[in-house]
Amino acid sequence: MKRQLSEKSSEEEGPQVEARSARDVVIPLLKGRAVEVLGAAEAQFPDATAAIVAELARLVSEGQIRGSISGEALYALFRRLGLRVRLKTKIVFVEKGREKSLYQKLKGE
């Protein structure tokens, strides 16, 4: 009877481990702007990004990816796979403690 109870409890614990989504496995490994890159990729290419994240999660669970994934590395991965992820970029100059946009700098303000 104890054996049956322990088997039932171990069966109940198994699905909880699998309930973690692929995104939840990958997110802790992302460093720097990688979360921003992933968010932009998900907004622009939802189906392809889901497949890529699932594959990354599989590699992490198999132990083939151990370290962190930087934003540059994730962006390069998307580029190599043919996905041109567009990121919001802004060029800012700091002059006398104030931020100036490129337009303001060229205008001379």
DSSP string, 66-101: -S-EEHHHHHHHHHHTT---------EEEETTEEEE
Identify whether the C-beta of residue 56 lies closer than 8 Å to the C-beta of residue 21: no
88 within some domain: yes
Give pLDDT tens digits along the chain (109 positions). Answer: 666 666 666 555 544 444 578 889 999 999 999 999 999 999 999 999 999 999 999 999 999 988 899 999 999 999 999 999 999 888 888 888 888 888 888 887 6
The answer to the question of residue 11 being in a domain is no
Q: For residue 91, what pLDDT is reported? A: 84
**What's the structural domain count of the chain?**
1
Stated pTM of the model: 0.68
Task: State the residue range of the domain holding 69.
Answer: 20-107
In this structure, what CATH number is given to the domain that contains residue 41? 1.10.8.140
pLDDT of residue 19: 56
Q: Does residue 52 sit within a domain?
A: yes
Q: For residue 14, is it within any domain?
A: no
Instruction: Please tell me the predicted confidence (pLDDT) of residue 17.
Output: 43
Residue 8 lies in a domain: no
> Cα dihedral sign for 75, 79, 85, 89?
positive
